[in-house]
Homo-oligomer: A and B are copies of this chain.
């Protein structure tokens, strides 16, 4: 987060910062990057446009900061769960559950995620993009490590662990997309067992 004068931040200021980030998340999620204007976000946050530029350098900076904020929240949940004792499978299953629960609670957010990397290329600041890409790949790395361990323990076929991680993410993601598109939404978390069943049976030795 590129907050100017970070060290001098006060409570009033932090509130405004959060207001802006929440408004940005909401609107970017609803409409995507380009159709969302800074004026929209300012209005939603009940602040003047100029105030936003006190906290963020540009629209892109705000966009990435909003994504980063949520991604941090998801990652810390995942990382915490992975530290818990248990077998590789138990951890993989926990991860699936946490991911689906998080998406169910933040259904707008994931829409940003899926498009950001391909949508903004070219134009965007390299540094900004890398901040987010790094966190995205950390998630895949965690899953890859878990799957590799399951392979080493002989519970999973000796396939490419990274590709299996990609496949698992793909399953979880596609079900989320499907769930969001439904008019009458059931519980997304309820699909955790389906994912676990299909994936584990699909890769087990």
Contacts and interface: CB of A to CB of B under 8 A. Distances in A.
Interface of A: 30-35, 111, 114-115, 118-123, 159-160, 163-164, 166-167, 169-175, 177-178, 191, 194-195, 197-199, 201-204
Contacts of A166: 174-175, 177-178
Contacts of A202: 197-199, 201-203
B174 A167 contact: yes
Contacts of A177: 166, 170
Report how many copies the assembly holds.
Answer: 2
A36 to B, nearest CB: 10
Given A163-B175, A198-B202, A118 B115 contact: yes
A204 B197 CA distance: 11
Contact of A123 (B35, B111, B120, B173): B35
Contact of A175 (B35, B170, B201): B170
A164 B173 CA distance: 13
B118 A32 contact: yes
Contacts of A33: 34
Given A34-B34, A170-B175, 4 more contacts: A30-B122, A32-B120, A32-B121, A201-B201
Nearest to A133: B181
A123 B37 CA distance: 14
A35 B121 CA distance: 10
